[in-house]
Structure 1
Amino acid sequence: MAIAGFYIYQNERDHITKSTIATSRALMSALDRELASATLAAQVFASSPFIAADDFAAFHREATKIAPMLQASALVLADATGQQLADSFLPYGEVLPLRGSLENLRKVFETGQPSVSDVFIGSISKRASIVIEVPVLRDGHVKYTIAVGIFTDRLDDLLRRQKLPPDWVSTIADTSGTVVARSSSPELVGTQALPVRLSATTSLRSGILETVRRDGTPIFLGFSRSDISNWTVAIGVPVSTAFHDLNLFLSIGLIGVIGVLIAGFGLAYYQSTQIARAVQSLIPQALALGHGEVPPIPRLSVREVDDVAHALNRADQLVKKRTAERDSAKTKEEEANILTGVMTEFVNNVSHELRTPLTSIAASLSLLSSDSLHPLRPPVARLVSLAHSNAQRLVRLVNDILDIARLESGKVLFHYTSIELLISVEQAIEDNCASAQAKGLSIRLDERSPGCIVRADADRLVQVLTNLLSNAIKFSPQGGEIVVSVEDANGMGRVSVRDHGSGIPDEFRSRIFGKFAQAETGDARQKGGSGLGLNIAQQIVTRLAGTLTFENAPDNGAIFCLEIPLSDKQASEMVMRAYHSAA
């Protein structure tokens, strides 16, 4: 038992060493990707012609638009003295102060390379922040710097997405050992945490230490340091957690030894007096067990042991057969549910990890394809435009997948208010008018029922209507017309959207609201799309207590019909009007 305990101790120590180091390296890679993404976008923006022309007002306008795309608190342009020339956090024209800390700025002017600052408290925002600073070159020399301000809350989100065990604590520290982000005890941000200071001062790039937290808890501390920013990521694991299996093994082993001793003495005494009756009593018990009856317990001798073996074999066959029949369907269902849950969690995690880099790529490509940068040659412009279109399509696909995951998990909050249905329809038509015109289509609002009040979430309702109009635009022929109508229908607000396309194939009707569902016809495949829009729309309509149906039009095309219950007050008024009309 001592040898087994020592083996478990060594095995657990090796496992926790590899696990914490691997986890800290993975987390550091995620951090490097986050910083590199913002650095790349800032470098693209540094080539803006507005900066080359010293047009700071135009730079401020562009920076105000781009900062939200980069999830940045501000974009700041400064000269070598630290004087701010434009700050997207403040309105243009206000008197701007000198930069609070010039160390990072001077480093960029000296090296001509991007630099990441240590954590500090912003003089204007009063929040913990970091700055990614990139040079603006002119004639081969650094003329200005662009600083991308990032609140450390963004790095807190990065730590939370790792889904570490509850008692594991992850920490990000800057080059001075100051805490930038922490998965627990956020009040320590900006302080010198002892375990992080130890990992920051060692000469190793990664490794594991044994130390204690501020509350005195002994921990294993796995750490990894970035080759890019020289920041440190540390994962603290309580020693008690690491040796949980060893303690459990020793406890169970001690209880087992005591139990075996007691059972041995008791069994020796019991076998000397009861073995014949105990063995023989198994025969009727086994047979009764197979037939589902209450077994009798007769007194028989030991010579019946052979009969006991045969009886138990027959009973075992009967029990296995009935158990297999009963559990077969349940097992298949559980396996299907487990597989579905694993796939959903996998897609959700991948989508979260993809969204940030895709957003940065789309923003960078948008800058390259806009007039804000130097004009591109036609072949290059076409490639950039194609890449930008594909990046936007991937962002929409990721957002659709995340919408489905949130809807199925019940994490989407609906804000119900009284809404005039016609206003929501007109807003959706206006939002999709440009897409229709680009294809030579027209959208006509045929029947209007003003005053049709429904109780719904305004944004989600417009999302459903936009999806129906987008589908109609996609499958309508060039120069066609899309007809929309709004009407009251027996206490329901009804919206119909009709296109003049090829209609819905019969073999596709049963799958039209499924995930990634697309018709197999060549024409439908050429239209593109993820096949998620109608599934999302149906889930939203279900949450709004409504229905979403479809049918093929008599001549050609398809008609989608959305019905949502009217508000209680308006439904009562319609009943009273119907009663008076009948009287």
Structure 2
Amino acid sequence: MPDVHKRTEPVGWSLRNKLLLLLLALFVLAGGGNALLLKYFIERDSMVLLLQTGQEEVEMLVQRIDRVFDRRQQVLESLAASLLEQNELAAAETLEQRITAPGLSQVFFGYVVMDAEGQILADSPVVPGRRGSSVWDRAYIQENIRTGQTVRYPPTMGRFSSIPISIFSVPIFVDNLATPKGFLVGYQPLDSEPLFEQIRSEYDRVSSDLLIMDLTAQRYVSASNPALTLQPIASKDPLFRQLQQGIPSGRFVDAAGQDWLYVATTQDSTGWTLVKLRQMQPITELLNSWVRHNLLVLGLALLLGGLFAGWLLHRLLGPVHRSLQQMREVLQLKKGYQHLQVDRQDEIGQLLQAFNELQEQRDRQEQLKDELVSVVSHELRTPLTSARGALALLRSKDLAQQPEQQARLMDMADRNVNRLIVLVNDLLDLASLTKGSLKLDLQCVALQPILYQTVEDFTPYAQEQGVRVSLKQPTGPLLVMVDPGRLNQVLTNLLSNAVKFSPKNTEVEVVVTRRQDTVRIMVTDQGEGIPLAFQSRVFERFAQADKSDRRRNTGTGLGLAITRELTTAMNGRIGFSSLPGSGSCFFLDLPRLDNKNGSDHPEENKDDH
């Protein structure tokens, strides 16, 4: 049956190749994402910039038209005041002379003067049939009468000229009279409006279109295309609909499918809407060209970055590759391990250093394993040999009538069996502590009885070694949360080491002090002290300061390791201080649970064994 979980990864791919592939994928993703983001932000920012620039241009155009129209209005109002003589309109000949004065044709194309009933008295240029006719019904005349002010009338078809024109109408007043004496009209054909023609030529040079629209009348006032002048605006025109919805700028697609960008603003004095248009196709082509150039530069940068990344990976991972090759030779060819050369301080250098430290630890573990085999073999063989010899003698008939000798041999066998039990228990405890499976029976107990009992039980052994043991502890209760049996084991280990390394006729002191939150138990001997080089390994398993001294001071090297683990499990702390030739002091700190009553100072010679 085929393996459905078979890896599809190419066989033999190294970390360097994987990283290169990953970097390549990241470069492609980064390049593609950057291209999309670049195109999006360029288009967005360009549109915003074009709209802002267009808005400023249209507003300036509105101000420009307002200035021209204001000047025309001022000229027309000044001309209207000059048409009065003795508070009445001047004669027709005089009116004609004044409206044909030099320079006026540059302001308006034509002028018309009417009396108070709207009858035309003079015009320039002269249009046959216009003089003597009445325009009283025209809306701008009625607006002049109603407001008494100058009227800028929306573009309309001239009644006599039959061409689209824009009209300014001024009432002619005599001071302190509410009724005008007549009216002066200035008009300008939209198809020959010099201002609009100048604007058209300017927009032709910048490839933009201009529309001047009367949205209320729904017709074009003027445009870059003169053919649109006074033409109606289709109701379905997309630009007209967006302007009616109050959208002053944006994009739309016309009936021919062309995309346009527009900006619009309203001229307050006339109510016209001025719209600047630009086709999007040239803008889009320019943006796309700019994006393509940037993508080309980006692609070259990514290519150079990829080549540099490949070279950098080769340089960075080269030591790792050589180290792996060296380890492979050690594992496959059974060559001896040599320390890896570390000539860098970065993470890879730290990794190589960790390999070296791991190998050192492995060598140390191998050494400890060899020592364990040696120690356990010695510690097992010695009591077994003694017990076996004692049992063999007990079976002999020579001792059948010697009860005292039999008892001595049985005691010897019993002691050696107990030594074996202690050794096995130490090994079991160490295994349980290592796995975290050792269960403690923590209880709130008084510390003094445990200390007294431990010292009392250990005194006979100390006396056999020619060593005295003294206990000094403060008055008052000392309550701690411990496992009594395990605490006894910890104290026994500390006392055993202290007595074992103490010369004869010296003293081992057990001093108890009450601290703020803890109780400190100090076991001090007067032995040779711990060598400085060995002090960092005191609590390591199977560690012994002097292997040559093992015959005098037998032990497995497990006692202090077990002692530290048990102390930590009971939420305590163990430490020591030692100087070579000055003895050692091991201290044990346990959390206090008592009410802190009693003396904090130990009583001298409280117990002396």
Same fold at TM > 0.5: no
TM-score, normalised by the number of residues in structure 1: 0.39
Higher-Rg member (1/2): 2
